[in-house]
Amino acid sequence: MRTERVLLSYEKWSDYALATLAGRTLSFMTNNEFFPDQQEELVPYGVLVTDFRAKHEIASKGGSSLDNSAKKLSRIALLKAMKTLAFEVNKVSDGNANMLLSSGFMLASQPQESEIPDVPTLITLSNGRQKGQMRMDFAAVPGAYEYEYQVGTIPEGSTEISWGESLFTPISRGNVISPVIYGTTYYVQVRARNKKGVSDWADPVSWLGR
């Protein structure tokens, strides 16, 4: 029987999902009675979380190339700190699921007797809060701990959707996708992941950039 643990690496997560998870881990770990020896480390960790979330917000609003570069460097530093903290969570918890969940980090995938998740439904795209953004929502899939999504467009002269790289999010509502270009039609497909495997892709939905 394998020991429960939290994920160490979040490199493939989108900036928005990473910012959300980082804020959650900081909140959950602060004054957590299971992790008294890690409280001092949360001070510099909190600085990195705040720095990335601030730089991500600026870049997502159509920031300059310098803003985007600063966001990428901040992301690298945050990912490194998250891996270190998650490693300590695993070490201290020693497989205790309640302790692991209390940290705010995501549990790692492990074999279970459950089925693969259902295909996500009710996918909707709408205007984001800022210009150059669109928001993605869909119905949460029971048992799914993560969702994978891709954004694509149809190149001129083609009839097929050209999909971008996969992005990952732990939440089903309020996902922000940016940048989007006015007048461009975007397509999004989503699939769910649980500890057994991944679902099929949902049928693509489209949205005209505004």
Domain map (residue ranges) of the chain: 15-102, 124-208
For residue 114, which of 5, 195, 170 has the smallest C-alpha distance? 195
- pTM for the whole structure: 0.57
Question: pLDDT digits over 65-108, tens only?
Answer: 898 899 999 999 999 999 999 999 999 999 998 899 899 898 88
Fold of 124-208: Immunoglobulin-like (2.60.40)
For residue 151, which of 124, 127, 122, 187 has the smallest C-alpha distance? 187
The C-alpha angle 84, 142, 75, rounded to 5 degrees, equals 30
Q: Which tokens go with 143?
A: 């048992």
Question: pLDDT digits over 132-188, tens only?
Answer: 899 999 998 888 888 999 999 999 998 999 999 999 998 898 899 999 999 999 999
